């Protein structure tokens, strides 16, 4: 069974404001952690009001070779999808490092 690690945004912002903040945070994560890459060009990502969940903004890929996970950026949260086959101790080491940066940007661990 897969597990998710959720970080909730503390402030209430519009979907447009959240996208701007999410892109800024994603750039910081990409600059600070070489294993993180965007699945799409951040500057090209726009809110698509026609999709089922317009509050879902974009994903970052975290690849460590033998394991990895996805960071899903939403209007009100970031969901880190972890595979159930991963050793939790190994997986949580990078998540702890990412969280240190993410928490400084107005999120809370759920």
User: pLDDT tens digit string along 32-65?
Assistant: 999 999 888 888 999 888 888 999 999 999 988 8
| Count of domains for the chain | 1
User: pLDDT tens digit string along 77-109?
Assistant: 999 987 656 577 777 888 899 999 999 999 999
- Give every CB contact of residue 104 below 8 A, 6+ residues apart in sequence: none
- Give me the long-range contacts of 88-94 (CB less than 8 A, separation at least 24): 91/67, 94/33, 94/35, 94/62, 94/64
The pLDDT assigned to 1 comes to 41
The pLDDT assigned to 6 comes to 94
Range of the domain at 56: 3-109
Asked if 59 and 65 touch (Cβ cutoff 8 Å), the reply is no
Q: Which residues pair with 3 in a beta bridge?
A: 82
- Alpha carbons 44 and 73: distance in angstroms, whole number: 15
- Report CA dihedral (101, 102, 108, 110) to the nearest 10 degrees: -110
CATH at residue 14:
3.30.70
């Amino acid at each position: 069974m897969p597990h998710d690690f959720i970080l909730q945004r503390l402030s209430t912002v519009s979907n447009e404001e959240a996208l701007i903040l999410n892109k800024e945070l994603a750039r910081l994560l990409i600059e600070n952690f070489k294993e993180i890459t965007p699945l799409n060009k951040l500057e090209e990502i726009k809110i698509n009001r026609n999709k089922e969940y317009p509050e879902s903004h974009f994903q970052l890929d975290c690849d460590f070779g033998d394991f990895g996970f996805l960071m899903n950026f939403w209007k009100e949260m970031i969901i880190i999808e972890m595979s159930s086959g991963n050793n939790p101790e190994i997986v949580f080491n990078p998540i702890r490092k990412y969280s240190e940066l993410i928490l400084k940007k107005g999120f809370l661990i759920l």
